[in-house]
Structure 1
Amino acid sequence: MKTFDHLAVIGLREWIALPGLGLAGLRAKIDTGAGTSTLHASDIEPFERDGQPWVRFTAHLGSLVQSRQRQREAPLVSLKTIRSSTGHTQTRYVIRTDLVLGDRHWPVEFTLACRKTMRYRVLLGAKALIAGQLVVNPALTYVQGKPLLPLPTTPSGVR
């Protein structure tokens, strides 16, 4: 069996932080079947800042029982049409922000979507896993522990 020393192992669920949005202590579910990552958001409103497209939204943190809300703003990267496993399509706003998982730190694109009926407010998709050089052991959870305070991103994007 091949092993790859440069890849970090994560579990099916992990603690993450999104320091660019000032969000920490988020539980994320790993979804290798999804290409793009998703952040639970509502009240999504596009606007312009200095002639550039931005988006304002309410980020929902915590669990279904103890939800906390934070107003956030981020540059708008694009709009993306997402097709669910049931065939429904939805157009979503896409932002890019730094993700911290364990001791790694790199930029990830997130679609903003309502996940109020879902247990996990954040999904990490395959593109984020590839960029972070991560492999998933679905038999494990919370392997990496809560992220340390984030460090600045290196030129390569991954710490």
Structure 2
Amino acid sequence: MKTFDQLSVIGLREWINLPDLGMVGLRAKIDTGASTSTLHASDIQPFERDGVGWVRFTAHFGTVVQRRHRCEAPLVTVKTIKSSNGHTQSRYVIRTLLMLGDRQWPVEFTLACRKTMRYRVLLGSKALVTGQLVVNPALTYVQDKPQLPSASGAQ
């Protein structure tokens, strides 16, 4: 059996922060079947700032108490996503800093309505590769909650 010492182990679910968006304490579901990560968002509005494409949106997080947070981020691209049932959808893509355990790195997220889903954030395989992570699906919340000063503007 091969081992990979440089890779950190995470569970099927982990606590994350998105500090550039001012969001802390998000529960993320790890989805190795998805290439790109996804963040639950509504009221998505593209706009320009200094000739650069940006997107403004309301991010939703929390399970027992639903919280909303208004965010702005540079627009990376618009991507066509094909779901497991074959349905295609165009989604805005942003890149933002992700904190998981004691690591942080930039991750691309598509913005999509996930209100009927249990987890508001999915971490896809590209984020796992970049973060040099391996998943043990028998475990959950392996890494400590990332520490950050409390987020301002969360409701």
The Cα shift of 1:149 comes to 2.9
* 2:152 aligned residue: none
Unmatched runs of 5 consecutive residues or more in structure 2: 150-155
So what's the TM-score if we normalise by structure 2? 0.94
Map residues 45-60 of structure 1 onto 2, 5 A cutoff: 45-60=45-60
The Cα offsets for residues 31-50 of structure 1, whole Å up to 9 and x where unpaired, read as: 00000000000000000001
For 1:70 and 1:30, locate their aligned partners in 2 and report how far apart those are by CA, in whole Å.
22
Return the letter of the residue paired with 2:134.
Answer: V
* Percent identity over paired residues: 79
For 1:67 and 1:81, locate their aligned partners in 2 and report how far apart those are by CA, in whole Å.
28
Unmatched runs of 5 consecutive residues or more in structure 1: 151-159
* 2:17 aligned residue: 17
The Cα shift of 1:145 comes to 2.0
Map residues 18-33 of structure 1 onto 2, 5 A cutoff: 18-33=18-33
SS of the residue corresponding to residue 6 of structure 2 reads coil
Give the total of aligned pairs.
149
The Cα offsets for residues 42-92 of structure 1, whole Å up to 9 and x where unpaired, read as: 0000000011000000000101x4211011000000000000000000000
For 1:21 and 1:140, locate their aligned partners in 2 and report how far apart those are by CA, in whole Å.
28
RMSD, aligned α-carbons: 0.9
The Cα shift of 1:133 comes to 0.1
* 1:120 aligned residue: 119
Runs of 4+ in 1 over 2 A off after TM superposition: none
The Cα shift of 1:19 comes to 0.5
Map residues 2-151 of structure 1 onto 2, 5 A cutoff: 2-63=2-63, 65-149=64-148
For 1:126 and 1:141, locate their aligned partners in 2 and report how far apart those are by CA, in whole Å.
17
So what's the TM-score if we normalise by structure 1? 0.92
